[in-house]
Amino acid sequence: MREYFTKRLRRLAPVFIEPVEDLPPADPDQVVEFSREFLQAGTPAFRVIFYTMIFILQAICLATRGKSVYSLPPDEADEFIQSLYSHRISALSTIPTILGTPIYMAHYNRDDLQVPLGFDIAALREEAAMREVKR
């Protein structure tokens, strides 16, 4: 992943993952690392779409707010992202959905988040290890 995208993901992680009482905040470095692996393992088409959405997000924000989404204060950046989810042009709602997919997966995949959410990590891993995949 190029540095351009790494910087933007680091900035977007806390915008997408809003602080929740008693839960750890987003870890931008962990989000970047997970996203890098996720995008590398996934289909090339999704990778292209994901990177394109970063550019489109920037362009829309510049056109509507006169500023880069990455330079907006956190509250304004959050409001901008939220506005896209319910935009009257439904195609724009895909932008935060696509960008949020690896960000949310990275964040909620952390052990320090799963335990407070009520998941028994050890039991889940033990169960997964017992599964046998047959083709």
The domain locations on the chain are 3-130
| Mean of pLDDT values over 91-113 | 91
Q: How far apart are CA 67 and CA 24, in angstroms?
A: 29
Please identify which residue in the block is written with the tokens 């959405």: 53
Q: How far apart are CA 15 and CA 8, in angstroms?
A: 11
What's the confidence (pLDDT) of residue 83?
A: 92
**Mean pLDDT rounded to a whole number for the chain:** 90
- 96 Cβ partners below 8 Å, 6+ apart? 16, 57, 81, 84, 85
> pLDDT tens, 2-52?
898 999 999 999 999 988 888 889 999 999 999 999 999 988 999 999 999
What's the confidence (pLDDT) of residue 9?
A: 92
Q: How far apart are CA 5 and CA 15, in angstroms?
A: 15
DSSP secondary structure code for residue 135 in this structure = -
DSSP secondary structure code for residue 94 in this structure = H
Q: How far apart are CA 112 and CA 98, in angstroms?
A: 25
What's the confidence (pLDDT) of residue 70?
A: 86
Q: How far apart are CA 131 and CA 121, in angstroms?
A: 16
